[in-house]
Amino acid sequence: MNVELIVPNNLSEVTLGQYQEYIKVIDLPENELAFKMVEIFCGLNKEQTRALKMTDITDISNIISTMFDSSPPLIHKFKMKGIEYGFIPSLDDMSFGEYIDLDTYIGDWDNMQKAMGVL
């Protein structure tokens, strides 16, 4: 079976949803984690991932692991689908409602998209 893989090597290529899936499996044993990393970050299903060579799984998971060692700069503003988004410039100026929402969601990776929405 031939499968074309796109292996992310930069954090800008990883979605928050993918990272949320990864956080759920991060404590798996090394080989299982490597399998799940390829599945999650390369967008493969289990059958496609199982068909890969073990050496390919290891190489790809090493690339992804190295990517997580980087520390990219914070992007304060960005455009997505024609809409400009940006972080609250001064957290001291956030409203009490924003603070309550942020405090509620920031510690829960399943709801991190809501925390990011507040920020």
Inside any domain, residue 5: no
Are 41 and 83 members of one domain?
no
Q: What are phi and psi of 83, to 5 degrees?
A: -110, 135
Inside any domain, residue 110: yes
Are 46 and 15 members of one domain?
yes
Are 64 and 85 members of one domain?
no
Residues 80-104 have a mean pLDDT of 86
**pTM of the full predicted structure?**
0.77
What are the CA-CA distances from residue 16 to residues 79, 92, 106 (Å)? 16, 25, 13
Are 16 and 64 members of one domain?
yes
pLDDT of residue 1: 58
pLDDT of residue 94: 87
79, β-bridge pairs: 84
Asked if 105 contacts 112 with a C-beta cutoff of 8 angstroms, the reply is yes
- CA-CA-CA-CA torsion for 40, 42, 44, 50, nearest 10 degrees? -90
pLDDT band at 23 (very low <50, low <70, confident <90, very high): very high
Are 45 and 89 members of one domain?
no
State which residues form the domain around 82: 77-118
